Structure 1
Amino acid sequence: MAARKIMILGAIGVGKTSLANRLAFGRFETSYKATIGVDIYTTTAALPGGAKPMPLVLWDTDGDFGLSIFRTVYLKGASGALIVADVTRPASLDQMAALISGFREALPGRPCAAVLNKSDLVVDESGGAASGPPPDLLARARGADVVALASARTGHGVTGLFAELAATIERRSL
C-alpha cells in the first residue's frame, strides 16, 4: 500500500507538531520549537477490519502560512488534511474554519479532520475532563469529515482521529 500524504494545518501554537510527534513517536515534548516551513514525519494508521495499516507521511506546516498555504506546492499530492485548533484559543477556531473551507476549495473530495487539540485543558460542568466537543466548537468545524477532541499531551484521541481519517481516505480510494 502506498503512503498517503496528510497535511497538518492550523494557527501557530495549536499543537500541530505535538500531534505529529505523539502519533509518530508516542511522545510529547514539553519544550516549544516553532516549525519553520514544513517538517515531515512517517508513521502508520490502523484501518478497520484488521486490514494492513496505512502508511502516512505527515506534513507538519508552519502556522504562519495561514490561508496562503493553498497557493504553495505543499498541497500537491495530499490525500487529506488534519486541521488543528486549540480549544482554549477562540481565534484559532476561526482560523480552523477558514482552513477547512480553503482545503475544500483547493482539494475537493479530499477528506479533512477538524481536531480540537488541548482537550486536557477543558473541563465539563462537573469539573471532569470534557468527553465530547461542545456544540459551539462543532459549529465552527462544520465542513470537516471528522471532528475530534484530542490531547497531544495525554495522547487522548490522537490515534483514533488519524485512524478515522485514514479509513475515510481508504473508503474514497484516494
Structure 2
Amino acid sequence: MAEKRKVCVLGATGVGKTSLVARFVRSIFSESYRTTIGVTIETRRVRCDERELDLILWDLSGEDEFQAVQTSYLRGSAGWLLVIDGTRRLTAETGLRLYTAARTIAGEVPAVVVLNKADLTGAWDIDDATEARLRRAGLWITRTSAKTGAGVEGAFNALARAMLASEAPSLRG
C-alpha cells in the first residue's frame, strides 16, 4: 500500500502551478489560462527508493489570497513545490515571501523551487543573482517547462526523495 504525502504547490498568480500539476498528473498542457480559486487537489503515485508514495497535490491559488485563504491549506503538508516564472523576475520575490510565510505557518518541510517556462529562453528574466539568492535560502532549484514537460518529473521526484529523507527514523517502515 502506498504512503500518502500532502504537497502544496505555491507561487504567484500565473506562474504555471496548475499547468505543472496537469503535466505531472495527466501528461497534458493547455494554452488557455484559468485562475485557480482556492485549491484544486490532484493525486499521483510515484515510486521512490523502493517505496510507493501517493502525492496529494494541493494546487493553491496565487499569492493574492495567501493571507486570507491558504493558511489552513498549508497545515499537514509534507512538502512544497514553489513555482517561479522564469520570464518574470518579480515572481521570485513573491516566491521567497510565500516560502517565508509558509514556514512561519507550517514549520519547515522539504521544498523544491521550479523555475518554470524554461521553454521560453528568449524571454528569460531570472538572472544568476536571483538564483543565488534562492540558493542562499537553502532551496533546491531546477528548471521546468509545463509546456514541453522538461524537468517536471524530476522536480516532483526530487521533492518525494527530500520528503522521505527528512522523515524521523521512527517513522520509516
TM-score band by shorter chain is 0.7 to 0.9
Aligned to 1:168: 162
Once the two structures are superposed, the pairs formed by residues 37-116 of structure 1 within 5 Å of their partners are 37-48=38-49, 51-65=50-64, 67-68=66-67, 72-116=71-115
C-alpha RMSD of the superposition:
2.3
Aligned to 1:9: 10
Of the structure 1 ranges 97-106 and 62-71, higher mean CA displacement relative to structure 2 is found in 62-71
Aligned residue type for 2:165? R
Aligned residue type for 1:10? G
TM-score (norm 2): 0.85
Structure 1's 72 and 159: CA in aligned 2 closer, same or farther, altered over 3 A? same
Deviations along 1:71-103, whole A, 9 cap, x unmatched? 621112100111111011111111011112222
Of the structure 1 ranges 162-171 and 108-117, higher mean CA displacement relative to structure 2 is found in 108-117
Match of 2:153 among 159, 170, 173: 159
CA distance in 2 between partners of 1:137 and 1:157 (Å): 20
Q: Within the alignment, does 1:147 sit opposite 2:148 as a pair? A: no
Identical positions, percent:
36
Q: 1:43·1:57 contact (CA, 8 Å) conserved in 2? A: yes
CA distance in 1 between partners of 2:7 and 2:115 (Å): 17
CA distance in 2 between partners of 1:67 and 1:141 (Å): 20
Q: Provide structure 1 residue ranges, at least 5 long, that are not aligned to the other structure.
A: 124-129
Aligned residue type for 2:60? T
Aligned to 2:171: none
Q: 1:112·1:144 contact (CA, 8 Å) conserved in 2? A: no
Structure 1's 105 and 64: CA in aligned 2 closer, same or farther, altered over 3 A? closer
CA distance in 2 between partners of 1:31 and 1:70 (Å): 25
Secondary structure (helix, strand or coil) at the match of 1:119 reads: coil
CA distance in 2 between partners of 1:95 and 1:139 (Å): 16
Alpha-carbon distance, 1:170 to partner: 0.5
Q: 1:114·1:146 contact (CA, 8 Å) conserved in 2? A: yes
TM-score (norm 1): 0.85
Q: 2:75·2:106 contact (CA, 8 Å) conserved in 1? A: no
Of the structure 1 ranges 58-67 and 161-170, higher mean CA displacement relative to structure 2 is found in 58-67
Query: Which of structure 1's runs of 4+ aligned residues deviate more than 3 A?
Result: 64-67
